[in-house]
Structure 1
């Protein structure tokens, strides 16, 4: 009897060892699985405090992000090989120096690689300001041999002067090799009569409403001048029953400010159609949002979409993101995947603008959809 009990206890001990081993194996397996999941996913916002983000695909597996902020009187860049983790590379352009036409308010840089050169398009206040205007923005171009700079002004003056202050340069190269420049006329000293402005006056909110409009013009191949006259492409709706009037007028109807914006445009081509994404409302407020319009020609006429806005605050739906805007579009895997990068604000970051990247898609009928703003865990752009 004692003999059997001895072997019974031995068997129990062996079984305990086996169960412990299997349990440890499962824990290791689960740990590896969790680590793999952590590697292939990320959460917005990215750890980059930029406004107006723009990303250059350098074609060698490296991406460079440019934006408003991080350095005084100029611009800086970050680099990444996965579009999620970014390394600060320092200043790329310094303005407000003796040899430059620039003075202050260095905004919305975009860098393009054409041939072996890199071209930086940006806006800043012009030193030449005989009437002492509060907003004297012009668009400039600088060039470098490296995406990390240093960039030097292509000429000693702004690209051109349309007769009003301008910001938010965006460049598009069409299939025929022609270049186009898109930009925003700022609201400054640009009051516009509309049903919205009349409503605001009757409500005792504002005596006038200033507006920002998006223009386009052909760009010379040497980037030193423009060709022809700028064409008005997008503006806020004139009538209150316009399907885009409500969301584009929120900064006015909420009593935030007496301005309506159409700015921060980004143009790309998909299946023969030109898409222009743009931002509306006050860039520093919660209502900043993104819409889009389409055209059969790079210089219009552009028709705003019915499903605008395609990107806006989610705080009303239980989220914590506001001020989503000034986006750009990044095509990956030969255009099979599309992402949009933009800035927004969160409760944790307060007034600081931070960068988001979210997936977007164009359906068979041409409808553009953005899956954002997201703050939950989502697959990394280059791993799904």
Structure 2
């Protein structure tokens, strides 16, 4: 009996450890905004911000643990390139035996010399390793303000593009903005917001007008974690960005990141809706991933699945004392509990 109990305790401890330390975090890949595509063949390809000028690198893996550098997947040194610099947040989707990369960059068309003239484009390739070539010489659409962080979602025969309006020139009235001005910290507080718009099925443009889905709270004591970049006197901006959506048990889950991507308070929350077009309600359990122990700056995640397609995995970037200011890739298990709550078993750290 004693032997049986010892075995049970060991199994429970091993199970707990296997959840917390599924992958040796951080991976030896310095990416911001990491995105992992699991292809129809079962092989994995990772893309992210950084590592090459004016483009994107790609890594491949068969098990999510050992990764091979495959070189540059996208470069703006091509005839259709519309981006000038600031190439960020690539996501790649497999469709009809082709691969489509959605990404953000500074648009060359900038007659008023805006500091942030960011937009979203799409490039196509016959291979997940590229080369990806822009489908046209311009972004998908121009909403009249800078946008980043594309996420594409198919639902009931329609295609939706989720994106974030940049903070740039978007000062917003709120209690936190009034507080920051009263304290003499910041004259104004700019914000970024998450929108959705329907995409044409060939990705050549959009259908209808964008719908606002998520933005920072207007009250001081609501979702306090989303205002820490301001309350810590770091910067006069509040972000709602890096959205990624999935559907589970007829509920649409939108994960998003808040606070400064370049700071320690970057963190992940989520909101739910009965429709991909919202309205979305933020979880009372937010944030579901934030700095802990030696790991800080945890955010801008994507979602993939393990080799057996049984476990949902959260792919995100973070920093450690050892890696310094470089953003590194982390992978941890995530799951939807029976009560509908979304949790991430992280940040785990194996250094």
Query: Following TM superposition, by how much is the alpha carbon of 1:97 offset from its aligned partner in structure 2, in angstroms?
Result: 4.6
1:232-247 equivalences under 5 Å are 232-242=212-222, 244=223, 246-247=224-225
Alignment partner, residue 57 of structure 2: 76
Q: Which has the larger radius of gyration?
A: 1
Q: Which runs of 5+ in 1 are unaligned?
A: 1-36, 378-384
Of 250, 264, 276, which aligns to 2:242?
Answer: 264
Post-superposition Cα deviations, 1:113-138, rounded to whole Å, max 9, x if no partner, equal 01111000000000000000000001
SS at 1:76's partner residue? Answer: strand
Superposed CA deviations along residues 20-52 of structure 1, whole A, max 9, x for unmatched, are xxxxxxxxxxxxxxxxx9xx9642101111100
What is the TM-score with the length of structure 1 in the denominator?
0.84
The structure-2 alpha-carbon separation of the partners of 1:333 and 1:295, relative to structure 1 and needing over 3 Å to count, comes to: farther
Tell me, in whole angstroms, the C-alpha distance in 2 between the residues paired with 1:193 and 1:92: 42
- Helix, strand or coil at the partner of 1:200: helix
Alpha carbons 1:289, 1:325 under 8 Å: kept: yes
Structure 2 CA distance for partners of 1:212 and 1:41, relative to 1, 3 Å: closer
Q: Where does residue 226 of structure 1 map in the other structure?
A: 206
Aligned residues of 1:63 and 1:80 also touching (Cα < 8 A): yes
Q: Secondary structure at the match of 1:199?
A: helix
Match among 118, 135, 139 for residue 99 of structure 2? 118
Indicate yes or no: 2:342 matched with 1:342: no
1:245-272 deviations in whole A, cap 9, x for unaligned?
x100000000000000000000111111
**C-alpha distance in structure 1 between counterparts of 2:211 and 2:298, whole Å:** 27
Cα distance in 2, alignment partners of residues 283 and 105 from structure 1: 14
Query: Contact 1:96 / 1:103 at 8 angstroms: preserved in 2?
Result: no
Aligned counterparts of 1:126 and 1:51: Cα–Cα separation in 2: 20
- CA shift digits 1:127-155 (9 cap, x unpaired): 00000000000100000000010110111
1:206 to 177, 186, 195: 186
Q: Distance in 1 between matches of 2:321 and 2:308?
A: 36
> Higher relative contact order by CA 8 Å / sep ≥ 6: 1 or 2?
2
| Matched residue SS, 2:115 | coil
**Corresponding residue number in structure 1 for 2:6:** none
**1:50-61 correspondence to structure 2 within 5 Å:** 50-61=31-42
1:327-367 residue CA offsets vs partner (Å, 9 max, x unmatched): 01113467631110000011111110000000111011110
Residues 96, 104 of structure 1: 8 Å contact kept: no
Say if 2:304 is the partner of 1:326: no
- Which range is displaced more, 342-351 or 55-64? 55-64
Gaps of 5+ in 2: 1-17
State the secondary structure of the residue aligned to 2:246.
Answer: strand
Inter-CA distance 327–376: structure 2 relative to 1 (3 Å threshold): same
* 2: CA distance, partners of 1:201 / 1:299: 35
User: Are the aligned partners of 1:96 and 1:102 in contact in 2 as well (CA < 8 Å)?
Assistant: no
Question: Which one has a larger percent helix, Structure 1 or Structure 2?
Answer: 1
- Equivalent residue in structure 1 for 2:260, among 239, 263, 282: 282
- The reply to whether residue 194 of structure 1 matches residue 174 of structure 2 is yes
- Residue 48 of structure 1 is matched in structure 2 by 29
- 1:368-379 residue pairs with structure 2 within 5 A? 368-376=342-350
Is 1:92 paired with 2:73? Answer: yes
Per mean C-alpha deviation after superposition, the further-off stretch among 83-92 and 324-333 is 324-333
Kindly provide the CA deviation profile for residues 58-83 of structure 1, in whole angstroms up to 9, marking residues without a partner as x.
12231000000111111110000111
Contact 2:43 2:60 survives alignment (8 Å): yes
Change (3 A) 1:64 1:333: closer
- Quote the Cα distance in structure 2 between the aligned partners of 1:281 and 1:85: 31
Deviates more, 1:366-375 or 1:335-344: 335-344
The equivalent of 1:10 in structure 2 is none
Aligned counterparts of 1:376 and 1:74: Cα–Cα separation in 2: 30
Secondary structure at 1:249 match in 2: helix
Aligned equivalents of 1:236, 1:59: Cα separation in 2? 37
Q: Name the structure 1 match of 2:275.
A: 297
